[in-house]
Structure 1
């Protein structure tokens, strides 16, 4: 996916990074960013508070965060988004 994105957008001011968000965020190198994108990942992370605290430290004031968690194939098939508790309810 990242390679396809790089093929479509080739400019010096756009960087694509694949990282394990549950580890230290060394990939930021102390930089701040105008835009952070999460795509189909947050539902796999248990401790979202920590993720968003780290995110707040690396998105520029006035920057944006885009979150896309609805899978395009599921939408096409007519599935609806939902939340489930650990007990299945």
Structure 2
């Protein structure tokens, strides 16, 4: 049984803050042809704490198998969830 729901990259323009859940996997464009992935770990007053994976892809796609194998790049970081996912104020 799969514990993951996979959403298409272009499914929606934004993700409202209240729908960001612990364990959510997210993707962001690193440069012109590489995508990176991470996971929401916890919620804090200023946003969320996330871990970034040591995995890059030419497409915004990751499999459950890859998620289960991939390692963390470095210590978890605090991200501005509202600006990144809801309002999308960070374009680059």
Please report the TM-score for the alignment, with normalisation by the length of structure 2: 0.28
**Quick check: which one's strand share is greater?**
2
Larger Rg belongs to = 1
TM-score (norm 1): 0.28
